Amino acid sequence: MRPVGRPWESGRPLTVLQRYPFPIGSVDARDGDMMQQAGSLRIAVPAILTASLLFGCAGETGSPLATQSVGARSYAQAVGPSDWSGQSGASGHPQMSADAIRADAANFNQCLANLWPEAARRGVSRQVYDAQTQGLTPDLKIMDLVDAQPEFTKAFWEYLDLLVSDDRVARGREILTQYRPIFDQVEKVYGVDRHIITAIWGIESKYSTMIGDRSVVRSTATLACIGRRQDYFRNEFLATLELLQRNDVTPDELKGSWAGAFGPTQFMPTVYKQYAVDFDRDGRRDIVSSVPDLIASTANYFKRNGWETGQTWGYEVEVPQNFNYLLADRSRQMTIHDWERLGIRRAGGKAFPNTHARAFLLVPAGSQGPGFLMLNNFRVIMRYNPSEAYALAIGHLADRLRGGEAFVQAWPRHERALSVAERAEMQQLLSAKGFDIGEADGRFGPKTRAAIRDFQARAGLVPDGFASTTVLAKLRGS
Ligand code: CA
């Protein structure tokens, strides 16, 4: 499995980056600013998985040994850490310079030894600690992945097409049938829609068929001692040891993404520690091999993050001509009734079941594409992965699994996603003209979107915040 990292800004929650669906640069780009705010929660990371889902999952650089032994002595001897490029990371972070990586790698064993007292304080036995760390070598290839720059981006709809495929819908329906009794019980206990859980399962690991093959112990140990997110990963590494101590999962089951997310719904170790439940009551919280534990643990995550039982995630809507797109902002929540008064209609001529719910309006493709009214549960999905495209894919796949139709309105498929270079250029041009884009990081979040709207208004374009090639051309010529 080959995760593709993203440009990484120090201070931005790593989890977020990792959860990101693959070369979908456009996706995270749209949410960049939001990602910084989203931080606290955290979770699991579909990054990898999604990558593999989309593009097929090749074993990691031909080193199956890497995943056979968590203890990794055999791996170290067989492969060694030499598959790292030896290059400094693209982020420019001082801890990602080649020299700093080499220095940290040389100190790896001492770094792990320094973590023993904290592991002991958490109840990890010396035996478990030694079994996992003796002879362990860092997986330096991860340093390349952490700072990998996407080379291309995908449009919002291309991302949806890939994730909400007919194949994924069909297999998901089989899953729902196969595990119906478990879903019945879990829904009763947690009140979380089975179709959402199934959609997460389908998109994170293509229903368990694509799960990362890296040792979670080795990955988190590497990131705990090398690179720019060591504080964050020390906790993930220690949480990994804790769950091995508890015998919840076996070392062999602890395989996952380069960032340490594992299991069919890709929990990070700390998320596992906090949310995993033993639903089949065999004494182990096993989200890897127990389907009841997997389904219930994922439901528990959503429940504890605010999922509203009986509520949907949102609705596709039609936005009237000459609509004031300044209202299409995540910070502007109104009741559906209020949106209706502004001319917003549910797509397909249907009525809204509940007009008292509060929602914000999202127009991912601006005035040329469908609009969406997003309810609280959409925000809950975004806590799993703070990407609007990801959350919309989850919601839409859930609807399709339930028997719903594809979106009614067309996407502007003649528009192409801006390249990474074009995004950077657009931000530079906006900034040079005095528009506030926040951080010029190639990610297009709410601030960049607002700057685009302001520019569009000044240039006589529909101010919908959509970063089209037309807007870029206008910017270049103005
Ligand atoms: Ca269990």
Q: How do residues 361-370 score in pLDDT, each as one tens digit? A: 999 999 999 9
**Per-residue model confidence as pLDDT tens digits over 60-89:** 222 222 222 223 333 333 344 458 999 999
CA 18 to ligand 1 centroid distance, Å: 27
Neighbours of ion ligand 1 (CB under 5 A): 278, 280, 282, 284, 286, 290, 293
One domain, residues 439 and 392: no
Number of domains observed in the structure of the chain: 2
CA 384 to ligand 1 centroid distance, Å: 23
pLDDT of residue 345: 97
One domain, residues 151 and 243: yes
One domain, residues 125 and 140: yes
pLDDT of residue 82: 53
One domain, residues 403 and 455: no
Q: Is 2 within 8 Å of 414 (Cβ atoms)? A: no
Is the per-residue pLDDT at 188 higher than 90?
yes
- Confidence band for 278, pLDDT divided at 50, 70 and 90: very high
Q: Which two tokens stand for residue 256?
A: 């996952």
CA 275 to ligand 1 centroid distance, Å: 13
One domain, residues 384 and 440: no
User: Per the domain annotation, does 72 fall within a domain?
Assistant: yes
CA 284 to ligand 1 centroid distance, Å: 4
One domain, residues 379 and 432: no
- Averaged pLDDT, 186-208: 97
Q: Average per-residue pLDDT in the chain? A: 84
User: Per the domain annotation, does 263 fall within a domain?
Assistant: yes
Domain span at 472: 420-477
Burial (CB < 10 A; 0-12, 13-18, 19+), residue 161, is middle
One domain, residues 104 and 133: yes
pLDDT of residue 391: 96
User: Per the domain annotation, does 366 fall within a domain?
Assistant: no
User: Per the domain annotation, does 264 fall within a domain?
Assistant: yes
Map residue 358 onto helix, strand or coil: strand
**The pairing of beta strand 214-215 with beta strand 255-256:** antiparallel
One domain, residues 391 and 434: no
Is the per-residue pLDDT at 271 higher than 90?
yes
CA 466 to ligand 1 centroid distance, Å: 47
One domain, residues 2 and 141: yes
**Per-residue model confidence as pLDDT tens digits over 369-403:** 999 999 999 999 999 998 899 999 999 999 999 99
pLDDT of residue 386: 87
Q: Which of 395, 413, 431 is the last residue of a domain?
A: 413
Q: Which of 358, 390, 413 is the last residue of a domain?
A: 413
- Averaged pLDDT, 471-475: 95
Is the per-residue pLDDT at 51 higher than 70?
no
User: Per the domain annotation, does 97 fall within a domain?
Assistant: yes
pTM higher than the cut 0.85 = no
One domain, residues 384 and 459: no
pLDDT of residue 39: 28
Which has the minimum average pLDDT: 19-28, 44-53, 147-156, 396-405?
19-28
Can you tell me the distance from the alpha carbon of 28 to that of 18, in angstroms, rounded to the nearest whole number? 11
- Averaged pLDDT, 275-292: 96
CA 417 to ligand 1 centroid distance, Å: 44
CA 280 to ligand 1 centroid distance, Å: 5
Q: Is 456 within 8 Å of 463 (Cβ atoms)? A: yes
User: Per the domain annotation, does 112 fall within a domain?
Assistant: yes
User: Per the domain annotation, does 461 fall within a domain?
Assistant: yes
Is the per-residue pLDDT at 42 higher than 70?
no
**Per-residue model confidence as pLDDT tens digits over 295-326:** 999 999 999 999 999 999 999 999 999 999 98
Is the per-residue pLDDT at 58 higher than 60?
no
CA 276 to ligand 1 centroid distance, Å: 10
pLDDT of residue 474: 94
More confident residue, 308 or 252: 308
One domain, residues 146 and 183: yes
Torsion of CA 377, 382, 385, 388, to 10 degrees: 120
One domain, residues 380 and 453: no
User: Per the domain annotation, does 341 fall within a domain?
Assistant: no
Q: Which of 413, 434, 459 is the last residue of a domain?
A: 413
The pair phi, psi for residue 317, each rounded to 5°, is -135, 160
**Percent of all residues in the chain with a pLDDT value above 90, rounded to a whole number:** 72
Which has the minimum average pLDDT: 35-49, 206-220, 272-286, 430-444?
35-49
CA 220 to ligand 1 centroid distance, Å: 24
